[in-house]
Structure 1
Amino acid sequence: MKLTVIGGCGSRSLMLAKCLAQHAEDLDITDVVFMDIDKERVRVFGSMVREVFSRIAPYVQYLCTTNEKEAVMEADFVITTIRAGKEESRIIDERVALKNGVIGQETTGVGGFAMALRSIPTLIYYCRLIGEYSNPNVMVFNFTNPAGLVTQALRNQGYSFVYGICDAPSGFLRQVAALYDLEYFDLKVQLIGLNHLSYFTSVKKDGREILSEILKDSRLYEHTDMRYFEPKLAQHIGCMLNEYLYYFYYREKALRNIQKIGETRGERIKKINDHMLKELGQYDAARDFDKMLEIYSEHIYMRESNYMQGETSVARDEACIPRFELYTKDEGGYAGVALAFMKAKITGTKGEMILCVPNHGTVDWLEDSDIIEVSCNISKNGATPKKGLYELPECAKQLIRTVKCYERLAAEAIVERNTEKAIDALMINPLVNSYSLAVKLLGEYLEVYKEYTGGWTL
């Protein structure tokens, strides 16, 4: 079986390689291709990934390439994890937004829209290649942000082999499980919403509902990513919250914090990634791999330790910060999400997981074709949203409806290069909520990203 990673030589490359290598034998993965268009990252990270497979799964045929067609040729599974425009574009997204007095976070609001301007055309190109050259039953796991919006656009174009994945829900569940000395799979959950805008509406242990107990546990707000929210808010809504809801429920605080520190998340990440690549580039993976692992682990820790700290002014708990070690048991991440689905598809093993898939009647207050993030039953037949009561207060439903309407319009606007739909999308987004700002922001982003939008102008 062949698995291809498009955009495989980024900062998460070794975490992904470790997960794939540890599970390769169980899933009969015989060929792995990491494809990237950045030649220096291919040289550095590609050689490190080669060493990961050499040490953990030497029987896997590994290739790192810049050749797109070669990468997807006869692939059975594809993971897409690209950042079109690299970190430089992320900084532009953030700075244009801040200049206009709005949040530019890369997956929500105008930052997400700007990233989608680049991500959607790029992934449509790759999906065409996959449709032409990969195996007929290929499955694509899209991790490219904004994952929900991108998956919506790709599904709208008929690419039904695409599933959206995100490691935020499973990572958070691990934090919650650790509070009670449990494994995350000991908890049976129901989650509903959109990618980076979702709510845990049920948490059961041994068939007993324990969500209300968890919400009253002070440790939840000290040792997990629920630290960004006041207990009163979570208890009022009656759910555990995806951390990105902070940007909606504390919008003015997030904006003020970002403006106060004077540095965006993208700028911090670029500094860390540039320094890491420069240091790693001085070594040869065949001779100096252990030293390179130390450098990589140090920089990944640095990257994760200040996650959302600038926006929230709240530091992460040490237990929430991953330490990369090559030989420890893999904790999953987005590769783990993809591999769990692959296992069900290949072996017929049934299970549950959280994915971005079409609504298909899961809730009657969204359209059937809407891509939602939801708890799913998985099997060899694919993923089916779990049916049941997803009890949410009306205020949460309305936020989901509004942002989903934005995503529908944005997905159509970017594919069609439709100015009116783009303005409507931004105008109704809760983090913009202004016609005049929508017009101004759209004009600025279209001017910057002509390379991706085919010359689309206002």
Structure 2
Amino acid sequence: MKITVVGGGSTYTPELVEGFARRADVLGLTELVLYDIDKERLDIVGGLAGRILARTGFTGKLLLTTDLDTAVTGAAAVLIQLRIGGQAARLTDETVPNKYGIIGQETTGPGGFAKALRTVPVVLGIAERIRELAGPDTWILDFTNPVGIVTRALQHAGHRAVGLCNVAIGFQRRLAKDFGVEPDRVRLGHAGLNHLSWIRSVLLDGEERLPSMLEGDSLVELATEVRMPATLLATTRSIPSYYLHYFYCTDEEFRNQQQSGGHRAEAVQAIESELLEMYRDPLLNEKPALLEQRGGAYYSEAAAALVTSLLTGDGAHHYVDVRNDGVIDGLPDDAVVEVPAFVDRDGVHPTEVPALPPEMLGLVQSVTAYEILAVEAAVTGDRKVAQRAMLAHPLVRQWEIAEPLLEELLTVNRRFLPAFFPLG
């Protein structure tokens, strides 16, 4: 059993390695491959990965490589976690929109669109090599943001792909801790799109607990966690994903970005530098606590558990990004939705999702339209399609902003966008 991580030099990787180490026997894992184009980072992160595996008694092989073909040949599953352009590109995603009075964010809005344009062609190129060298039945798990757009691109190109996000599992683990129970006893009615979802049901051993959570101190705590007014949660009778703060509290968020003078990219750059320095320590053989500040909590658990279900057929319950096919009424079948599902060797089997109320469905439909156009723009390099995508996004909309903002985003990302700037 060979599993490959594309983007193995990421600071997330040690957490992912721990997840696979815990499941090595169940999976029959004989080879774990970390691939990255940055050899220096790969060697640093791979060194810690090797020490983690040694500590856990892993008897298989760990391979570090900068050769994609070597990495994916014969793989049973490939996880993709990339950041094209690194944190420097993320900083432009977060800051350029602010110049036009728009929120800067790396996965949604125009910043997320810029990231999608950089990322989709690269991921599709990697997926083609996976298809050729590992076979069309190889599972591709995408943790590369914007997950919904990247997963849609993979599925439209005919790849066996499923997207993964840590938002739902993070809430599940947090609520299970509050209830004092094991996580598997908590099931969330989590539905929507990636980074645009709501929890409309919280079942503990089959008993609905959400109504009582949307009252008193519990409501205030939840509202604080997702950075939204308690009255909003009470009105929608839901726990919105914290990414909905950008949609529901847009002006407030823009003021915060203007006043803070800093963006998440700058903080992450500092954390990554410190993490890499820690990873160099030859005595370190477990993920450091600082990694929790990097984001992506429970990624290792979600990713390793999902791979295990796909390859062993254990039928476990997950929260994943999959093709809609009627799961959420009012969306095209080929939309990529984020919903609960049971997973086995045959793939992902979404559970039934109650119809979204109008205020949620309308927003989901609007962002779905944007995602459809975003994939087309990323693949074709068509400026007109890119302009339409910007117009479709609820956080942009206005033509007097969409046109110049798009041109600046394309210009600052020029070296990553050969489809828009062909040679010659």
TM-score (norm 2): 0.94
Number of residue pairs matched? 422
> RMSD of the TM alignment (CA)?
2.0
Equivalent residues of 1:428, 1:434 under 8 A apart: no
Q: Which residue does 1:362 correspond to in 2?
A: 327
1:216 Cα deviation after fit: 1.8
Change (3 A) 1:212 1:87: same
Pairing partner for 1:353 from 309, 315, 318: 318
Aligned equivalents of 1:225, 1:59: Cα separation in 2: 45
Change (3 A) 1:155 1:257: same
Kindly provide the CA deviation profile for residues 93-140 of structure 1, in whole angstroms up to 9, marking residues without a partner as x: 112111222112111101110111111011011001101111442101
Aligned equivalents of 2:382, 2:253: Cα separation in 1: 31
Q: Which residue does 1:170 correspond to in 2?
A: 169
Change (3 A) 1:396 1:74: same
Q: Which residue identity lines up with residue 266 of structure 1 in the other structure?
A: A
Residue 428 (str. 1) matches residue 423 (str. 2): no
1:377 Cα deviation after fit: 2.2
Q: Which residue does 1:403 correspond to in 2?
A: 367
Kindly provide the CA deviation profile for residues 224-275 of structure 1, in whole angstroms up to 9, marking residues without a partner as x: 8734122211111111111111111111111111111101110111122123
Aligned equivalents of 1:217, 1:127: Cα separation in 2: 49
Q: Which moved more, 1:338-347 or 1:238-247?
A: 338-347
Residue 387 (str. 1) matches residue 378 (str. 2): no
Classify the secondary structure of the residue corresponding to 1:273.
Answer: helix
Aligned equivalents of 1:354, 1:418: Cα separation in 2: 33
Q: Which residue does 2:257 correspond to in 1?
A: 258
Aligned equivalents of 2:171, 2:6: Cα separation in 1: 26
* Unmatched runs of 5 consecutive residues or more in structure 1: 308-321, 323-332
Q: Which residue identity lines up with residue 351 of structure 2 in the other structure?
A: K
1:279 Cα deviation after fit: 5.3
Q: Which residue does 2:137 correspond to in 1?
A: 137
Kindly provide the CA deviation profile for residues 396-423 of structure 1, in whole angstroms up to 9, marking residues without a partner as x: 1111111111111111111111211111
Change (3 A) 1:33 1:183: same
Q: Which moved more, 1:211-220 or 1:395-404?
A: 211-220
Equivalent residues of 1:173, 1:184 under 8 A apart: yes
Aligned equivalents of 1:358, 1:205: Cα separation in 2: 28
1:167 Cα deviation after fit: 1.2
Q: Which residue identity lines up with residue 126 of structure 1 in the other structure?
A: I
Alignment of 1:314-329 (within 5 A): none
Residue 438 (str. 1) matches residue 402 (str. 2): yes
Aligned equivalents of 1:87, 1:4: Cα separation in 2: 23
Change (3 A) 1:457 1:73: closer
Kindly provide the CA deviation profile for residues 260-318 of structure 1, in whole angstroms up to 9, marking residues without a partner as x: 1101110111122123324544x4x2xx335xx5xx625325545xx9xxxxxxxxxxx
Change (3 A) 1:409 1:98: same
* Unmatched runs of 5 consecutive residues or more in structure 2: none
Q: Which residue does 1:146 correspond to in 2?
A: 146
Aligned equivalents of 1:227, 1:88: Cα separation in 2: 27
Q: Which moved more, 1:398-407 or 1:201-210?
A: 201-210
Classify the secondary structure of the residue corresponding to 2:327.
Answer: coil
Alignment of 1:239-388 (within 5 A): 239-278=238-277, 280-281=279-280, 283=281, 285=282, 288-289=283-284, 297=288, 299-303=290-294, 333-388=298-353
Q: Which residue identity lines up with residue 96 of structure 1 in the other structure?
A: V
1:457 Cα deviation after fit: 5.4
TM-score (norm 1): 0.87
1:379 Cα deviation after fit: 2.2
Aligned equivalents of 2:401, 2:96: Cα separation in 1: 11
Change (3 A) 1:59 1:279: closer
1:31 Cα deviation after fit: 0.6
1:16 Cα deviation after fit: 0.7
Q: Percent identity?
A: 32
Equivalent residues of 1:446, 1:457 under 8 A apart: no
Aligned equivalents of 2:321, 2:62: Cα separation in 1: 29
1:186 Cα deviation after fit: 0.7
Equivalent residues of 1:221, 1:227 under 8 A apart: no
Alignment of 1:58-77 (within 5 A): 58-77=58-77
Q: Which residue does 1:118 correspond to in 2?
A: 118
Aligned equivalents of 2:395, 2:234: Cα separation in 1: 24
Change (3 A) 1:386 1:422: same
Equivalent residues of 1:346, 1:380 under 8 A apart: yes
Pairing partner for 2:376 from 412, 418, 424: 412
Equivalent residues of 1:196, 1:242 under 8 A apart: yes
Change (3 A) 1:68 1:12: same
1:205 Cα deviation after fit: 2.1
Equivalent residues of 1:402, 1:428 under 8 A apart: yes
1:367 Cα deviation after fit: 0.3
Classify the secondary structure of the residue corresponding to 1:188.
Answer: strand
Aligned equivalents of 1:348, 1:298: Cα separation in 2: 32
Aligned equivalents of 1:114, 1:389: Cα separation in 2: 33
Equivalent residues of 1:91, 1:267 under 8 A apart: yes
Q: Which moved more, 1:83-92 or 1:186-195?
A: 186-195
Aligned equivalents of 1:199, 1:301: Cα separation in 2: 24
Change (3 A) 1:386 1:298: closer
Equivalent residues of 1:237, 1:393 under 8 A apart: no
Kindly provide the CA deviation profile for residues 353-407 of structure 1, in whole angstroms up to 9, marking residues without a partner as x: 11100110112200001011111122221112212424x3311111111111111
Aligned equivalents of 1:401, 1:215: Cα separation in 2: 26
